[in-house]
């Protein structure tokens, strides 16, 4: 599992794509060492230096899948309440912001801000839409999208400060937030996200969950580490898993025996088979 880059204002518009290009160039130069250092970990390090105020809770290493996945994740048959042309525009705009291939929209949320959750065959995006005067601004992370480490994954977990902290008039009223996004299997009916003594219900839809806790526009990301907890339940309320379960977990591609989640140095006998994501 990994942390993804923080969305929108903590990095200037367009910076996500430039970071991606820098990382990919570095990965190419490293050759075979690329699999030992996840793209996301490097991206997170760049984000901390660039933004100054971004804080990540470390999550277990997610290596690049050893086998290239050529099948796209199932296209969700969902009605987002907007025209297909607008769905296509969101997918295109969010992909361009991240410098990635076009993903499929999985969730469209409109609470205190408008944002989307999208997945391509290789990565997930958390994309702000029209926030702080920016049309689309994505956080991205590489992940083994075809597979799940058990019942659920944590593909993004991050925070951003309120808009009043960055001095831009366009974002002065934008709230800060902590966000957790990931994928679920068919058994998961409910997901909660707990941080700062607050617990919120995630929206579970189209094989994904999305949870966000908002803070005032003058909220800054604390320097002290926080304990962010995700819990997944089935339809009868039985606890299926907790995010802490994933911190030392290891999962294999059952077809090849290659590690797709966790530390690749873990003995394969200690790993579990990953589950297909719908």
Residue-by-residue pLDDT tens, the chain, 278 positions: 443 444 444 555 555 555 555 555 444 444 433 333 333 333 333 333 333 233 333 344 443 333 333 334 444 457 899 999 999 999 999 999 999 888 999 999 999 999 999 999 889 999 999 999 999 999 987 788 999 999 999 999 999 999 999 889 999 999 999 999 999 999 999 999 999 999 999 999 999 999 999 999 999 999 998 999 999 999 999 999 999 999 889 999 999 999 999 998 999 999 999 999 97
pLDDT at residue 104 in the model? 97
pLDDT at residue 102 in the model? 87
pLDDT at residue 21 in the model? 54
DSSP-derived secondary structure for 59-115: ----PPPSS---SPPPPP----SS-HHHHHHHHHHHHHHHT----EEEEEEESSSEE
| 3-class DSSP assignment, residue 134 | strand
**Interhelix angle 39-51/15-30, nearest 10 degrees:** 130
Q: Are 241 and 1 in contact (CB under 8 A)?
A: no
| 3-class DSSP assignment, residue 243 | helix
SS3 percent helix, strand, coil of the chain, rounded to 5, is 25, 30, 45
């Amino acid at each position: 599992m990994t942390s993804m880059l923080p969305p929108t204002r903590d990095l200037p518009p367009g910076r996500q794509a430039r970071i991606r290009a820098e990382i990919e160039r570095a990965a190419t130069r490293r050759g075979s060492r690329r699999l030992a250092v996840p793209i996301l970990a490097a991206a997170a390090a760049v984000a901390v230096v660039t933004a100054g105020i971004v804080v990540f809770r470390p999550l277990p290493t997610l290596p690049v899948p050893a086998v290239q996945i050529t099948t796209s994740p199932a296209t969700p048959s969902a009605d987002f309440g907007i025209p297909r042309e607008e769905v296509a525009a969101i997918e295109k705009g969010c992909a361009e912001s991240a410098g990635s291939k076009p993903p499929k929209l999985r969730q469209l949320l409109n609470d205190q801000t408008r944002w989307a959750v999208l997945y391509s065959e290789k990565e997930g995006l958390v994309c702000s839409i029209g926030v702080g005067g920016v049309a689309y601004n994505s956080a991205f992370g590489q992940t083994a999208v075809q597979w799940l480490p058990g019942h659920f994954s944590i593909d993004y977990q991050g925070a951003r400060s309120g808009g009043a902290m960055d001095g831009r008039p366009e974002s002065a009223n934008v709230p800060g937030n902590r966000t957790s996004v990931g994928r679920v299997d068919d058994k998961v009916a409910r997901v909660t996200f707990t941080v700062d003594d607050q617990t919120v219900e995630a929206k579970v839809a189209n094989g994904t969950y999305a949870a966000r806790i908002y803070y005032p526009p003058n909220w800054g990301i604390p320097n002290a580490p926080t304990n962010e907890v995700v819990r997944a339940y089935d339809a009868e309320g039985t606890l299926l898993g907790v995010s802490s379960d994933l911190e030392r977990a290891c999962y294999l591609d059952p077809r090849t025996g290659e590690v797709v989640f966790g530390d690749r140095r873990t003995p394969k006998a200690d790993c579990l088979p990953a589950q297909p994501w719908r």
